[in-house]
Structure 1
Amino acid sequence: MTEPAGPAHRPPRSELGEMPAELWEEQAGWWQEGFTEGADEEYREQIMPLASRWLAGAERILDVGTGEGQVARQAVRDGAATVVGVDPTRAQVVEAAARAGGPAYARAGAAALPFGPATFDAVVACLVFEHVVAVDDALAEVARVLRPGGRFAFFLNHPLLQTPNSGWIDDHVLDPPEQYWRIGPYLQEDLSLEEVEPGVRIPFVHRPLGRYVNAMAANRLLLRHVDEPAPPTGFLDRSPEYPQGADYPRLLLLVAEKHEGLAPL
């Protein structure tokens, strides 16, 4: 549920042995105030329209890592008959229920979904799996609760930009000076605690893209569409100091379908 990496200085990370659940409870208010109900340009201009597009036509939708429920509420407004949001953070589920809007909510983690097989036509996970340690279990659960032919809309902070110690570089050694995005150790899986702004620390897992795609394939989730959109205008307008920001995708969307007949490789 972390904001995608942006054109700004990225603070150093510190290693973690596990994901401390209490941090999510402590930072729930930060998320609710800064990234929901139209407060964030990337959600408003890009993520929500993409979610509406790729969930269109689904009657039964599960929103994994729903937070305070903004994607789930949008799915109801778009016409889905049944929408359920799950999140392991109590403060998020309580706020989601208070904001109402039609979905039902339950407190659960991605690696242990409290639903039977083939319950949903579509599953959406929006900037969630970067914070899930048990990624193989979680993707297996997504596949289990999807009906055959069901769709998985999988939104990620782009792994290329979320490598450890990545960020914008103002290189004044070169003449003329250049600005570019430094890529950290991309191929290394990294579990760390990131200070996304002063006083706000978020547990984060970096994985290369292939790690996600192969785990999806192992669970018969066939990749059908990939989207790497340029950052939306609203975001670029508030980062004029980095004019090359439009050349770096902050968001990655993988759209997959469940195919029971596929044999695992």
Structure 2
Amino acid sequence: MTSETERDPSRDLWEEHANWWIDGFTDGADPEYEEQILPLAAGELGDARTILDIGCGDGQISRMMASVGATVVGIDPTWNQIRVAHERGGGAHYARSTADELPFADASFDATVACLVFEHIDAVDAAIAEVARVTKPGGRFCFFLNHPLLQTPGSGWIDDHMIDPPEQYWRIGPYLVESESVEQVELGVWIRFIHRPLSRYLNTLAEHGLVLERMLEPAPPPGFLERAPEYVEAATVPRLLYLRLRRT
């Protein structure tokens, strides 16, 4: 077992700031979830009968899939997220667990899903090995990430007024360098992120028998772009990366 001194340090920030996520990104509050992530997850998971939702948060994907008849288990290391998931109900089952030590037997699930989770996990190799272990051969892993181009530390929109006419462009930080950062996502709210290049994920997934079958880099949805005039310029930069992987 992982000792308290060795555990993922991002967990304490998530416990402290769980309400930031629950209030801002669940229960219809976030257009990227409502217009893009949830519909995509529903389509990708639609025929799975047993599903593990890793880093389930308040359980919005778990509830959605339980509502169409799947048997769903959601796990999250954050007590405050699991508490809200239990309160919101919806037919799924929930447990507190980390992704690198899943309390399930081998080949337990038709599908596993992790939505915007792995960019907060230190033990990425162990977590991917666990995903492969509990997913049935022939089953799928539905993997949602904040796009690594978006998440690279030092990346962001640049307004260049040194040239005529002025230009706006997306600056990419040190993409190939695996690194961690603690970002202020809202006034007084700090969340820890781990940036990894896409190859780091894909090679580790393949080593554990999870083979890429589909990759999507969708444009931000209309509801997000409408939130601020400057967001219109972001329509050409993907915020989401989705990978469907098949367990061999």
Residue 72 of structure 1 aligns to a residue whose secondary structure is: helix
Give percent identity, aligned residues only. Answer: 61
Mapping for residues 57-76 of structure 1, pairs under 5 Å: 57-76=47-66
Structure 2 residue aligned with 1:52, among 42, 50, 56?
42
Please list the CA deviations of residues 215-248 of structure 1 after superposition, one character each: whole Å capped at 9, or x if unmatched.
1000000100000000000001113224321100
Residue 148 of structure 2 aligns to a residue whose secondary structure is: coil
Name the TM-score, length of structure 1 as normaliser.
0.89
* CA–CA distance in structure 2, aligned partners of residues 20 and 75 of structure 1: 28
Match of 2:74 in 1: 85
Match of 2:15 in 1: 25
Match of 1:174 in 2: 163
Mapping for residues 230-241 of structure 1, pairs under 5 Å: 230-241=219-230
Structure 2 residue aligned with 1:106, among 66, 72, 95?
95
Match of 1:36 in 2: 26
Mapping for residues 126-137 of structure 1, pairs under 5 Å: 126-137=115-126
**Residues 60, 18 of structure 1: alpha-carbon distance in 2 compared, 3 angstrom cutoff:** closer
| 8 Å CA contact 1:63, 1:84 repeated in 2 | yes
Please list the CA deviations of residues 36-59 of structure 1 after superposition, one character each: whole Å capped at 9, or x if unmatched.
011000000000000001001000
Residue 125 of structure 2 aligns to a residue whose secondary structure is: helix
Match of 1:165 in 2: 154
Name the TM-score, length of structure 2 as normaliser.
0.95
Match of 1:154 in 2: 143
Residue 20 of structure 1 and its aligned partner are, at CA, apart by 4.0
* CA–CA distance in structure 2, aligned partners of residues 55 and 239 of structure 1: 32
Residue 105 of structure 1 aligns to a residue whose secondary structure is: strand
Provide structure 1 residue ranges, at least 5 long, that are not aligned to the other structure.
1-16, 260-265
Matched pairs, number: 242
Higher relative contact order (CA 8 A, sep 6+): 1
Residue 177 of structure 2 aligns to a residue whose secondary structure is: coil
Residue 199 of structure 1 and its aligned partner are, at CA, apart by 0.5
Q: In the alignment, residue 152 of structure 2 is paired with which amino acid?
A: T
* CA–CA distance in structure 2, aligned partners of residues 110 and 243 of structure 1: 36
Residue 154 of structure 1 aligns to a residue whose secondary structure is: strand
Please list the CA deviations of residues 17-74 of structure 1 after superposition, one character each: whole Å capped at 9, or x if unmatched.
9624221111101110000011000000000000001001000000000001001001
Question: Which structure features the higher share of helix residues?
Answer: 2
| 1:209 and 2:195 are equivalent in the alignment | no
The two structures, once aligned, show a CA RMSD in angstroms of 1.1
| 8 Å CA contact 1:179, 1:242 repeated in 2 | no
